[in-house]
Amino acid sequence: MNDLNRRRFLATSAAAPMALAATVVPASAAIGDVTLQAALEGRQSVRRFGSDPVAQDALLRLLWAANGVNRPDSGGQTAPSWRSGHDTVIYLATAEGLFRHAHETNTLDKVSDTDIRAISSDSAFVSRAPALLIYVSDGEKLRAAAEGADDQALAVGAHVNAAVAAQNVYLACVAEALGTCLIGGAANRQAIAEALELPSNSIVTYIQPIGAPR
């Protein structure tokens, strides 16, 4: 790369995050104050949360990190996806009810007034967390993208896609001074699927409680 092209590349790279933050992610001093190195050093699983609700703008930043659009021209997202399936749908459960994340606009659509945190896991700390992310794989969408894949491969792909998104949330939580952990086996997947009225070809992959650590 010659010097001119290098300067153009650096200028474009430096400008893009600022434009993105202004148009897609609500502005936050916390996001700018934490380097990637610091986020990686601070990443950990937290299972004890304070009772204060998580601010909606912070939740939207976490959701954008997990599954947002970072390249509006192409629709590219913040997390990679096996076979470009982009099958992961994220729901948010709080005391206010149940919401579905619309990743294209980084907004929350209310699904119901029911708080399903308590039925989502037998682990008591999950129901005490102020917010709970629920990862769902749209099976029809994934199967269409991964034509010819068998059921085992599809299940693995669905869980990998959700786990990648969840890792982004871990790092974003460091920037927001929040705690989180990823839960698989202790999730009451059937109860969650029934509460969400999921079609039979969609599956709950993980749940991820969020709150201020204590």
The answer to whether residue 178 scores a pLDDT higher than 70 is yes
Q: 90-138: per-residue pLDDT in tens? A: 999 999 999 999 999 999 999 999 999 999 999 999 999 999 999 999 9
Category of 177 on φ-ψ map: left (φ > 0), alpha (ψ -120 to 50) or beta: left
CB under 8 A, 24+ apart: contacts of 167-170:
168/65, 168/66, 168/78, 168/79, 169/62, 169/65, 169/66, 169/133, 169/208, 169/210, 170/43
24, 164 Cβ separation under 8 angstroms = no
Q: 39-56: per-residue pLDDT in tens? A: 999 999 999 999 999 999
Global pTM value: 0.84
Q: 59-91: per-residue pLDDT in tens? A: 999 999 999 999 999 999 999 999 988 999 999
46, 118 Cβ separation under 8 angstroms = no
118 exposed, middle or buried (CB, 10 Å; 0-12, 13-18, 19+)? middle
